């Protein structure tokens, strides 16, 4: 009898580890096929050959987990509810001279597939080890296989030696000496044009911190990032191989101090979501719409409408996931950061809904994909 009892307990444990999800529960522990909480923070999803691939930051315990001690984790899914651990797609380097040395800051990795080169390309926000957030750089990696391993190609600043399409004459004036020192953030009330952040970084390249990638229907890819000391969003076109900038870019939301950019497209319109710059603490989200990726962008306010909207339901935007097979169906992917114990960060996934030519996010304790059938 004792053996039967123990066998029954063992079966329950095994079933618990491999229980199949049939819904999303925002903010709850979300286990993979091994029964371990999914470790893919600040991530994005690529759909390739009937499978979704989720890439994100692999966090570790404690405050040191906010640095990259492992790399970029990859998971795969057929239904978006249940995810299989596919291992580390990009590993940080044990070589301390490398730009992606163990202990660097590696955030918000995004992977896109290039149909021309047949390569998978990863971009991420990169800060070299021990430099804090002073580097404001981009890391680029590439692989022949969707799950990796990805080979680190290089780090760079955004669009060095190039002016944006909407450059002003004042940007090309000499930058005053007192404004040449780079700063992570502008002072309260300080406007980027008053200190000419654009001119300051013209030669070295523009700042790039929080970022995302967007591939349009024509195959053109774009890099969207928080730039100019986190004061302004830059939207830049990538080369055909997705490995560099063409040099064409625009400034958007100038002086609005936005980060956490995410973009999707519906019926020919481009929708944007971002946040204020309050570190790890959540704040009210911001949204906007434009007829072109280049703008002009019209702000729409906070898309969250339910209790908790002032903190974006205690989350920060990272990506909009198009649901394949359902027209105009998008999932908001947000992160609930826990910097005191980075590995315990949670995921807030919510359906994107539309009302009065705006997109809105309602809170659901639990939901499934049938919400898009309504």
Distance CA 351, CA 320 (A): 10
Just give the CATH number of 29-156. Answer: 2.115.10.20
| pLDDT surpasses 80 at 8 | no
Q: CA dist 173 to 65, 167, 196, Å?
A: 42, 12, 9
Q: Is 289 exposed, middle or buried (0-12, 13-18, 19+ CB in 10 A)?
A: middle
Kindly state the average pLDDT of the residues 128-148.
97
- Alpha helix locations (H) across 118-255? 192-195, 197-200
Contact 158, 164 (CB under 8 A): no
pLDDT of residue 12: 44
* pTM, 2 dp: 0.94
pLDDT of residue 125: 99
Q: Is 108 exposed, middle or buried (0-12, 13-18, 19+ CB in 10 A)?
A: buried
Q: What is the pLDDT of residues 102-131, one digit of tens each?
A: 999 999 999 999 999 999 999 999 999 998
Q: What is the pLDDT of residues 317-368, one digit of tens each?
A: 999 999 999 999 999 999 999 999 999 999 999 999 999 889 999 999 999 9
Question: Across 97-220, where does the E strand assignment appear?
Answer: 105-114, 119-127, 137-143, 151-156, 211-215
Length of the chain in terms of residues written: 374
pLDDT level of residue 194 (50, 70, 90 thresholds) = very high
* Angle 170-174-178 from CA coordinates, rounded to 5°: 110
Q: What is the pLDDT of residues 278-292, one digit of tens each?
A: 999 999 999 999 999
DSSP assignment letter at 230: T
Q: What is the pLDDT of residues 48-77, one digit of tens each?
A: 999 999 999 999 999 999 999 999 999 999
């Amino acid at each position: 009898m004792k053996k039967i009892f123990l066998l029954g307990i063992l079966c329950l444990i095994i079933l618990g580890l491999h229980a199949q999800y049939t819904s999303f529960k925002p903010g709850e522990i979300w286990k993979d096929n091994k029964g371990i909480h999914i470790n893919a923070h600040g991530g994005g999803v690529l759909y390739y050959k009937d499978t979704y691939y989720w890439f994100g930051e692999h966090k570790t315990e404690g405050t040191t987990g906010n640095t990259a001690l492992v790399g970029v984790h990859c998971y795969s899914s057929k239904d978006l509810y249940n995810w299989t651990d596919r291992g580390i797609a990009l590993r940080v380097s044990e070589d301390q001279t490398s730009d992606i040395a163990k202990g660097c800051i590696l955030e918000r990795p995004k992977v896109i597939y290039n149909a021309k080169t047949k390569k998978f390309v990863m971009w991420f926000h990169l800060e070299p080890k021990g430099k804090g957030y002073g580097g404001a750089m981009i890391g680029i990696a590439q692989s022949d296989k969707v799950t990796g391993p990805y080979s680190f190609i290089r780090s760079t600043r955004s669009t060095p030696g190039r002016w944006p399409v909407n450059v002003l004459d004042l940007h090309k004036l000499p930058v005053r000496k007192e404004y040449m020192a780079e700063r992570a953030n502008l002072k309260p009330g300080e406007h980027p044009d008053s200190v000419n952040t654009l001119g300051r970084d013209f030669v070295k390249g523009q700042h790039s911190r929080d970022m995302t990638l967007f591939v349009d229907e024509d195959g053109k890819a774009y890099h969207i990032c928080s730039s100019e000391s986190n004061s302004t969003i830059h939207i830049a076109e990538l080369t055909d191989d997705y490995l560099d900038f063409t040099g064409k870019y625009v400034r958007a939301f100038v002086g609005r101090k936005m980060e956490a950019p995410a973009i999707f497209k519906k019926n020919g319109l481009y929708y944007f979501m971002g946040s204020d710059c309050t570190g790890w603490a959540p704040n009210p989200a911001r949204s906007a719409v434009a007829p072109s990726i280049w703008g002009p962008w019209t702000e729409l306010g906070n898309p969250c409408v339910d209790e908790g909207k002032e903190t974006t339901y205690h989350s920060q935007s990272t990506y909009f996931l198009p649901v394949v097979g359902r027209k105009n169906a998008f999932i908001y992917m947000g992160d609930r950061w826990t910097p005191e114990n980075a590995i315990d960060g949670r995921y807030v996934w919510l359906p994107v809904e539309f009302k009065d030519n705006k997109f809105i996010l309602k809170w659901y304790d639990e939901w499934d994909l049938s919400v898009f059938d309504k």
